[in-house]
Structure 1
């Protein structure tokens, strides 16, 4: 069987892994799913801990950088970004 990487990016409400998911992306190197498959309005997990419990491996967490003085309420990128991976069989020899 051929093994490929799946990558899950979760954006959490805070820097804690048990915080609520506020955004996500899923990239499937197996080619078995499409980016629009499933219910795109509902996150695949409610927290990073739930992804860990389902077998996803955490390999990167966002660096915590305090805002510059006077910019505490600026709107910008989602800063609590966590990358997870799974290795999955493609079903192809």
Structure 2
């Protein structure tokens, strides 16, 4: 699961997301919902997801604070699933 947060703080709101199901129960990418799977990164951690990596914080260049670009606050989460119960 990839969560894009509003800021670099894990308790900020999720503004974008991607889900990848590696168990074979659903298609590899899921999450066609308009609602994020979790409201914040902390909520995902509380539900058993492990934080893998957080994006590097790079301040915008002066004069480019409002340019449209990639979402900077990207967090990768993983969750182990017991496949014997799938």
Fold in common (TM above 0.5): yes
Correspondences of 1:64-79 after superposition (within 5 Å): 64-79=57-72
Which of the residues 37, 48, 53 maps onto 1:55? 48
Extract structure 1 runs of 4+ deviating beyond 6 A: none
1:1-93 superposed matches below 5 A = 8-34=1-27, 35-36=29-30, 40-91=33-84
Question: Which 5+ residue runs of structure 1 have no aligned equivalent?
Answer: 1-7
Number of residue pairs the alignment of both structures matches? 84
Higher relative contact order (CA 8 A, sep 6+): 1
Give 5+ residue unaligned stretches, structure 2.
Answer: none
Structure with greater strand share of residues: 1
TM-score (norm 1): 0.83
